[in-house]
Chains A and B, each alone.
Chain A
Amino acid sequence: MAGPVASVRAWFDERFPLDDLKALAQKKKVPVHRYSYWYFLGGMTLFLFGVQVLTGALLLLYYRPGADEAFESVQFIMTQVQFGWLIRSVHSWSANLLVFMAFAHLFSVLFLRSYRKPRELTWVSGVLLLFLMLGFGFSGYLLPWNTLSYFATKVGTEIPAQIPIIGRPVLLFLRGGEDITGSTLTRLYGFHIAILPALATVLIGVHLALIQWFGMSVPPGVEAKWQAIPEDRKEIRFFPNFVLRELMAWYVALGLLGALAALFPWGLGVKADPFASAPAGIKPEWYFLFMFQTLKVIPAKVLGMDGEMLGILAFGVVGAVALLLPFLDREKPFKTRRWITGLACVFLGYMAVMTVDGWVAK
């Protein structure tokens, strides 16, 4: 029976290979094993990024960047705009969950050693995306122009200034001048809504294309077992079986976001006053806390070098090692894999301890 829907469908099929894509998705398989749940973390991160794009676009309808308007416009969104409080609160909570999920995804991939050949570029694009997410967090933090965000940005932009030669130009570039002013706000706003999203879109595209191309990685232990006993290999179809499961995970994330936004609405604080002194015990967002706390406790001089600069250098090295990790992983002759897992555990523990220490520190 050729109804109007079928006619439209037929017209569409002639112009877009929807059936080919559907066939490809149904052909694609996702391995099932005891670590399969970790596969959902990447999808959850993508979902939260989507939430950020959607809520961010809605916030843009009312947000006005500028030292004289930013705080008031966020206040307007939260008090006068219908469901503005929900959009802003979801945006803030989702940002935090997104960073958490991105870290969790990174460590799950690391411990399952999914970065191995031929997925090195998938890993590199993922690590770059994590750095971008941190950049989103940093640039977005100042946008409400409240006391906490003002001084946290002041402290945050002072950190790269410690780097020899390029430190001061970096500080001037980030701040748009000597101090945190309206110029800093518009600059970070530009990064937050234009430059970083453009980069993220490209990288997410590359990341997803690579995942689709190479498929899901199977942990080496499971792979070896399946090679020994081929009948143990289990797989499900990507579409609809895996996608529906992923959808369930997204629903859970949506419920969690809604509950956090409604029960613990993100506060606005007090409008930033550049002439006021910094409030006591000022801290950055939790995901920068381990670095902040490290720079705080590191001695002024370590082996004759400036302690803070050494700390920044160390985090730079960690970042570089994280980025190039797949190229350092060699089974022979150094058995680096064990070392990588061990060091990742140590770093994860260090992050947790320093974050808690920074959280409870006065």
Chain B
Amino acid sequence: MIKVRDSAPCRRGATIVVAIVVAAWLICSGLIAFAQTKNSCLDCHSNLPEPLGVSVETYGQNIHAQKGLTCAACHGGDASSDDPEKAMSRAAGWKGKIERKQTPELCASCHADAEMMKKYNPSLRVDQFQQYKTSVHGMKWAKGDNKVAVCTDCHGVHDLRAPSDPRSKVHPINIATTCSRCHADAEYMKPYGIKTDQFANYEQSVHHEAMVVRGDLSAPTCTTCHGNHGATPPGVANVTNVCSNCHVFQAQLFQTSPHKDAFAAMGFPGCVTCHSNHAIKAPTDEMIGAGPKAVCMNCHTAGDSGSMQAEAMHAQLTNLASAIAASDELLGRAERQGMEVSQPKLQQTQARDALLKARVAVHAFRDSELKRDTDGGLATTKLTHAAGEKAMQEWKFRRVGLGLSLVMIALTLVGLGFYIRSLEQK
């Protein structure tokens, strides 16, 4: 007879073993994960004064910390150890304070490594260090200049945030201020012999107004024209190319203009010659022509063909602007009187568009180029002005009509009153 063993205790034992293995695996992986993210450095350094102190809050906002990196990623050592001797031992690769000179290469050790960066942000570029080496900053750094900007000067060190964070020093809204920390410091910039008024000028510019006042983050700041990691001042030859990144039509028209060759021959840097560089003000119609505010007269003399062209263009622009203003005033008056003028008001936008196009067409520096737009705009304002006049005539007609109607109604009422009285007196 075959003895059959009871299988239930076997199944129970197997279940217990599997449960122990799973629990052990979970505990071990948890400990490993804890050891990997543990940052014992902060235990002490969060209590130390500057420059050795780094608060837990500051560190917590650091993009590297948020990605799971510890102090050891830059400083070396063993951040998982609670023993300072072990944590900061040379054997564990501890480097101590990172010298400014070492910074670009240290950052590049990860940021130039495509394989490494893919793990964190696959869309992040990895050529910053290569670009940096082509920049004025990078070239001077390579020659041993320890004052020029390195990565941490712009991005920050322990408070380093992602550029998309509005608190980041390299967020578009903060870039100009970050650059100005060195470039507006006359004492600091003395050895380089360059101006330090760029930031003050930029603060007066239309670009700064767009960025800071209107909050338009696409507005240009220092890095838009100079580049960021490969920062260099645009040369005379390529200023137009820089501006044309945004001002496409103006640049195209300039390329066809007589000024292109003339400026090149005289060594004038395209757009900047008339508009300045950092202190670019909102352009006005007075900038063109032969008037006191006209930039044309910086090169041209009164009566020459250039100044006459400029005067003709100025007249075309101001004529259209005045015609638009006159129609606006008339239509506004009619609207305030309760007249329905929404259609001619809508047409006014066509005239405004024509003026805008004419102001762009100025960059061809030929009055014939403007004429097409200004003539179209003037034709529109003629229609809108006529509509405004018609509305005002209609308004007067209504008043007269109302007056006459009320008189007739009053007379009828008086007549009715007399008739009722005579009827009741009978």
In the assembled complex, how far is the CB of residue B399 from the closest CB belonging to chain A, in whole angstroms?
7
Of the residues B394, B402, B419, B420, contact of A259 by C-beta under 8 Å: B402
B405 within 8 A of A: yes
Of the residues B338, B394, B399, B409, contact of A251 by C-beta under 8 Å: B409
Query: Using a CB-CB cutoff of 8 Å, which residues 232-274 of chain A contact chain B?
Result: 236, 240-241, 244-245, 247-248, 251-252, 254-255, 258-259, 262-265, 267-268, 270
Interchain CB contact under 8 A, A85 and B402? no
Q: B340's closest neighbor in chain A, by CB?
A: A78
User: CB-CB < 8 A to A79: which residues of B?
Assistant: 340, 343
Query: Using a CB-CB cutoff of 8 Å, which residues 332-354 of chain B contact chain A?
Result: 338-340, 342-343
Q: Mark B408-426, 1 if CB is under 8 A from A, else 0.
A: 0110110011011001100
User: CB-CB < 8 A to A75: which residues of B?
Assistant: 340, 342-343
User: CB-CB < 8 A to B412: which residues of A?
Assistant: 251
B60 within 8 A of A: no
Q: A252's closest neighbor in chain B, by CB?
A: B413
Q: B339's closest neighbor in chain A, by CB?
A: A265
User: CB-CB < 8 A to B339: which residues of A?
Assistant: 265
Given A244-B419, A248-B417, A262-B401: A85 touches B406 (CB 8 Å cut-off):
no
Interchain CB contact under 8 A, B340 and A245? no
In the assembled complex, how far is the CB of residue B19 from the closest CB belonging to chain A, in whole angstroms?
51
Interchain CB contact under 8 A, A263 and B342? no
Q: A240's closest neighbor in chain B, by CB?
A: B423
Interchain CB contact under 8 A, B405 and A255? yes
Q: How many residues of B contact A (CB 8 A)?
A: 22
Q: A263's closest neighbor in chain B, by CB?
A: B402
Query: Using a CB-CB cutoff of 8 Å, which residues 388-407 of chain B contact chain A?
Result: 394, 398-399, 401-402, 405-406
Which residue, B402, B405, B424, has most C-beta atoms of chain A within 10 A?
B402
Given A240-B423, A255-B405, A263-B402: A247 touches B340 (CB 8 Å cut-off):
no
Q: How far is the CA of A75 from the CA of B423 in the complex (A)?
A: 48
Q: How far is the CA of A245 from the CA of B398 in the complex (A)?
A: 29
Of the residues B342, B398, B409, B419, contact of A254 by C-beta under 8 Å: B409
What is the predominant secondary structure among interface residues of chain A facing chain B?
helix
Interchain CB contact under 8 A, A85 and B420? no
Given A75-B340, A85-B340, A268-B340: A251 touches B416 (CB 8 Å cut-off):
yes
Q: How far is the CA of A258 from the CA of B401 in the complex (A)?
A: 10
Q: How far is the CA of A246 from the CA of B91 in the complex (A)?
A: 111
Interchain CB contact under 8 A, B420 and A265? no
Q: A79's closest neighbor in chain B, by CB?
A: B340
Q: A255's closest neighbor in chain B, by CB?
A: B409
Q: B403's closest neighbor in chain A, by CB?
A: A262
Q: B399's closest neighbor in chain A, by CB?
A: A262
Interchain CB contact under 8 A, B420 and A241? yes
In the assembled complex, how far is the CB of residue A144 from the closest CB belonging to chain B, in whole angstroms?
11
Given A248-B417, A258-B402, A262-B399: A241 touches B423 (CB 8 Å cut-off):
yes
Q: How far is the CA of A65 from the CA of B315 in the complex (A)?
A: 48
Q: How far is the CA of A78 from the CA of B339 in the complex (A)?
A: 9
Interchain CB contact under 8 A, A244 and B409? no
Q: Mark A172-193, 1 if CB is under 8 A from B, else 0.
A: 0000000000000000000000
Interchain CB contact under 8 A, B398 and A262? yes
Q: How far is the CA of A241 from the CA of B402 in the complex (A)?
A: 29
Q: How far is the CA of A264 from the CA of B338 in the complex (A)?
A: 6
Interchain CB contact under 8 A, A262 and B402? yes
Interchain CB contact under 8 A, A268 and B342? yes
Q: B410's closest neighbor in chain A, by CB?
A: A255
Of the residues A85, A244, A255, A270, contact of B416 by C-beta under 8 Å: A244
Q: How far is the CA of A245 from the CA of B424 in the complex (A)?
A: 12
User: CB-CB < 8 A to B416: which residues of A?
Assistant: 244, 247-248, 251
Q: B416's closest neighbor in chain A, by CB?
A: A248
Of the residues B406, B413, B424, contact of A241 by C-beta under 8 Å: B424
User: CB-CB < 8 A to B338: which residues of A?
Assistant: 263-265, 267
Which residue, A79, A85, A254, A267, has most C-beta atoms of chain B within 10 A?
A79
In the assembled complex, how far is the CB of residue A47 from the closest CB belonging to chain B, in whole angstroms?
14
In the assembled complex, how far is the CB of residue A149 from the closest CB belonging to chain B, in whole angstroms?
15
Q: How far is the CA of A254 from the CA of B412 in the complex (A)?
A: 12
Q: How far is the CA of A270 from the CA of B402 in the complex (A)?
A: 27
Given A251-B413, A263-B402: A244 touches B342 (CB 8 Å cut-off):
no
Q: A75-B343, A251-B413, A251-B416 are in contact. List 10 more A-B contacts (CB 8 A).
A: A78-B340, A79-B340, A241-B420, A241-B423, A244-B419, A247-B416, A248-B416, A255-B406, A264-B338, A265-B338
Kindly list the 4 A-B residue pairs having the minimum CB-CB distance in the complex, ordered from nearest. A262-B402, A265-B338, A255-B409, A78-B340
Contacts from A to B (Cβ < 8 Å): 75, 78-79, 85-86, 236, 240-241, 244-245, 247-248, 251-252, 254-255, 258-259, 262-265, 267-268, 270
Contacts from B to A (Cβ < 8 Å): 338-340, 342-343, 394, 398-399, 401-402, 405-406, 409-410, 412-413, 416-417, 419-420, 423-424
What are some 15 contacts across the A-B interface (CB < 8 A)? A79-B340, A244-B420, A247-B416, A248-B416, A251-B409, A251-B412, A251-B413, A252-B409, A254-B409, A255-B405, A255-B406, A258-B402, A265-B338, A265-B339, A265-B340
